[in-house]
Amino acid sequence: MLALSGNTITLHPSATLGPIDPQLGIPTKEGAVRYTPAKSILNGFAKAKAILKKEGPESLPAYIPLIEKYSLDLLEQCEDSEKLSKDLVSAWLKQYMFGNERGAPLTLKVKKIANFFSDYDTHHIHSRSLTPAKLQNGLGLKVEIAENRLRDLLWEAHILLNGFFNASPFVKLYESTHGVSWGKQFQIMLGPQRASGQEQ
């Protein structure tokens, strides 16, 4: 989504983008959080609804665990988050990358791009690699492949950032053109260790 808010997208030859399908944090019974694609939750309910309509109430027991697992407000969140991600990307594309274009052709182009990046049924997983060839294939995005010195600098930045994140608790780092930066990190809490053989 951040890449689609730019005036252009410059990629290293081996770089990829990913889909913009929103992920919802679902608490597990163990207290952890599992991130699930919003569309997969909606698809699961739609599939259960279709089967129940076709097979009748006798097939309901098989789907009760799914229905009990998610609340109705979660379905609303799934739909709202999908709409929001597409609305944001559409607005950013119109304002920045295609800021000098107007009219129906722009509307169709932006809709095509937003639909492509949010199409979970085509991409299947959030980490699907969308290569430069796919991004330049009729979408109309302003994508450039870095060459020469810029290509080398992008690769060096990739190596340095990976090293930084592997050696620190930070999971995100932001920096503006004004030099203002901030990061997000996880805090790991260690509990008291028990002696070997002690009952848990």
Report percent pLDDT > 70 for the chain: 90
pLDDT at 22 over 50: yes
**Mean pLDDT of the chain, nearest integer:** 84
- Residue 189: which pLDDT band, with cuts at 50, 70 and 90? low
- Residue 106: which pLDDT band, with cuts at 50, 70 and 90? very high
> How much is the pLDDT for 196?
53
Higher local confidence (pLDDT), 120 or 151: 151
Which residues have a Cβ under 8 Å from the Cβ of 142 and sit 6 or more positions away?
Answer: 7, 8, 9, 97
List the domain boundaries for the chain.
Answer: 3-145, 146-189
With 0-12 / 13-18 / 19 or more C-beta atoms within 10 angstroms meaning exposed / middle / buried, residue 119 is middle
- The closest alpha carbon to 3, from 124, 106, 97, belongs to 97
Fill in the amino acid letter for 44: G
> How much is the pLDDT for 100?
92
pLDDT at 187 over 70: no
- Residue 136: which pLDDT band, with cuts at 50, 70 and 90? confident
- For the record, the structure tokens of 94 come out as 């119109």
The pTM assigned to this predicted structure is: 0.73
> How much is the pLDDT for 158?
92
With beta carbons less than 8 A apart as the criterion, state whether 4 and 87 touch. no
Fill in the amino acid letter for 107: T
Q: Is 76 helix (H, G, I), strand (E, B) or coil?
A: helix
> How much is the pLDDT for 192?
59
Pairing mode of beta strands 33-37, 181-185: unpaired
> How much is the pLDDT for 200?
47
Q: Which of 58-67, 99-108, 161-170 has the lowest mean pLDDT?
A: 58-67
Partners of residue 27 on adjacent β-strands: 33
pLDDT at 197 over 70: no
With beta carbons less than 8 A apart as the criterion, state whether 131 and 142 touch. no
- Residue 6: which pLDDT band, with cuts at 50, 70 and 90? very high
> How much is the pLDDT for 117?
92
Task: Give the residue-averaged pLDDT of 123-143.
Answer: 84
Which residues have a Cβ under 8 Å from the Cβ of 112 and sit 6 or more positions away?
Answer: 139, 140
CA 136 vs CA 28, 44, 69, 130, 196: distances in Å: 40, 32, 40, 10, 59
pLDDT at 198 over 60: no
Higher local confidence (pLDDT), 51 or 116: 116
